[in-house]
Amino acid sequence: MMPLAIDFDNLHTILRSLYSEMMPLCGNMAGVAKGIAGLGALFYVAYRVWQQLARAEPLDVFPLLRPFAIGLAIMFFPTIVLGTINGVMSPVVQGTNQMLQTQTFDMEKYRAEKDLLEYEAMHRNPETAYLVDKKAFDEKLEKLGAFAATDKLGLHVERGMYQLKKIVHNWFRELLELLFLAAALVIDTIRTFFLIVLAILGPIAFAISVWDGFQSSLTQWIGRYLTVYLWLPVADLFSSILARLQVLMLQNDIERLNDPTFIPDGSSTVYIIFMIIGIVGYFCVPTVAKWIVQAGGAGQYGRNVNRFFVSTGQRVAGVAGSVVGNITGQLTGR
């Protein structure tokens, strides 16, 4: 079987530290941004003062403070802007991650209990005990006698086919689990890249918003940053829902296995189906995050990103579905 030797939690931690280490680069852009914002503020204030004087109107000072407020935000961008946004949104990330950890722990506990009950159910049934217990298998061979070579060969084939079926199911389940965790890592990696780019170039976006005609750059930057930031909470929330659903399925299986008359078939097809759903669902995270925060002005690029994730999820679902069908058909002989 294929071991899951990759420590995905460590990779996610590395992405968190990468974001923190790249944040000082915002200061390098602050100097350029202050020059752009200062020139824009000069034209902004001069145009409005000249317009009001030409119309013989009293000066309205409050609108003239806008470029100065943006200038202060640029000067202390990592602290005032990024620190405030990250401080407000960090509890959301921590809360959804705590939900995920709780549901995952419950799922692992119930899965171990189900595996034990399934083994006991197979072992207490005389017709299936030899499939899981080597001692029961040897005893059944001794009962056949020395001259029942055909029957012995049949028992070996049945036990071998059962073990092969379990190996294939476990291998494919671990493959889907690897793809599931890899999909989450892809989302987190792209999210971290987008956040770093937005954070480093944020002062430039703020500076451009001082100029007339580009005021929407400020709200667009904030909306996009919040949207990308929410990718991780949305992904964790989706994983929590999926893990909770698997816990309910495991609880139902445990109740059935507690019935002495129930004989399990050792199949994990339903679990595999939900893993495929989870892989496809991860690629819908950007779309769901965009529903929460309407980041106007994302343009064709944002639509291309959402379209890429959706199309990738559809391809993964198609390939995984065909593989599941082929394996199931070969194992069942249908």
Sign of the CA dihedral with 103 first, then 309, 169, and 328 last? positive
For residue 123, the surrounding DSSP H or E stretch is: helix 83-124
Do residues 26 and 200 touch, judged by C-beta distance below 8 A?
Answer: yes
Mean pLDDT lowest among 8-12, 78-82, 199-203, 282-286? 8-12
Check residue 311 and give its pLDDT: 59
Percent of the chain's residues with pLDDT above 90: 5
More confident residue, 146 or 212: 212
Query: What pLDDT does 194 receive?
Result: 92
What Cα–Cα distance (Å) separates residue 68 from each residue in 37, 42, 161?
9, 10, 76
Q: What is the dihedral of CA 279, 285, 288, 292, to 10 degrees?
A: 150
Tell me the average pLDDT across 176-187.
Answer: 85
**Highest-scoring range by mean pLDDT, 123-132, 142-151, 174-183, 232-241:** 232-241
Average pLDDT of the chain? Answer: 76
Going by pLDDT thresholds of 50, 70 and 90, the confidence category of residue 225 is very high
Based on DSSP, count helices (H) and strands (E) in the chain, helices before strands: 14, 0
Could you give the CA distance from residue 1 to residue 281 in angstroms, rounded to a whole number? 26
What is the per-residue pLDDT across 77-130, written as a single tens digit (0 to 9) for each?
Answer: 888 888 899 898 889 988 888 888 887 777 778 778 877 777 777 766 666 666
pLDDT reported for residue 228? 92
Q: In whole angstroms, what is the distance from residue 252 CA to residue 270 CA? A: 13
Question: pTM for this structure?
Answer: 0.72
CA angle 156, 160, 165 (to 5 degrees): 155
State yes or no: pLDDT of 47 exceeds 50.
yes
Token pair recorded at residue 3 = 């071991």
242, 277 contact by CB (below 8 A)? yes
- The yes-or-no verdict on residue 169 having pLDDT over 80 is no
Of residues 297 and 246, the one with the higher pLDDT is 246
Return the minimum-mean-pLDDT range out of 175-179, 197-201, 231-235, 255-259: 255-259
Confidence of residue 226 (pLDDT cuts 50, 70, 90): very high
Q: Between 215 and 153, whose confidence is greater?
A: 215
Q: Is the pLDDT of residue 273 over 50?
A: yes
Rounded to an integer, what distance in angstroms lies between the CA atom of residue 134 and that of residue 122? 13
